Structure 1
């Protein structure tokens, strides 16, 4: 496998080193010094990642969901489900709630 991912930039594709979780960075702080991790392991560039899921484990990170940090400075879009919770700087990322659409009266 390759070296850990450098400072994340929008458009970067990252993957878990231990499961099939894959994400695309949608938004990242310019001074992002903390690692993005999945299941406690630093995420790597997607081309360096495994493509198999440990057998019998349900995914923790779900495809199509957006994950954000508490300060709403980092946003990731999950492109492949897998085991392991996403964290940034040791803090868990939460599923971003959908935006409410305006009422159409």
Structure 2
């Protein structure tokens, strides 16, 4: 069965659409149930930006990435003995800026 066959039609005015998880997503949901909050499969990175930053261009680029990749807008919701994936509708990324240039 193709993944597209599992998509639940979006309700009128809904802010998300609901789908079935992939097998990999289902495995991670199961593992999180065994050890809630375990960060073993979480990746993080930080970057130092030197020079001027075009905040609007960065926010636009992040918005485009989030719009393109459903998984970045997904929530996993328990339903009976399974999990469902709710994919939020695309919206602009809010990029708060804290200017620390005057700090030592």
TM range (shorter): under 0.3
Report which of the two structures shows the higher radius of gyration computed on alpha carbons. 2
* TM-score of the aligned structures, taking structure 2 as reference length: 0.23
Higher share of residues assigned helix: 2
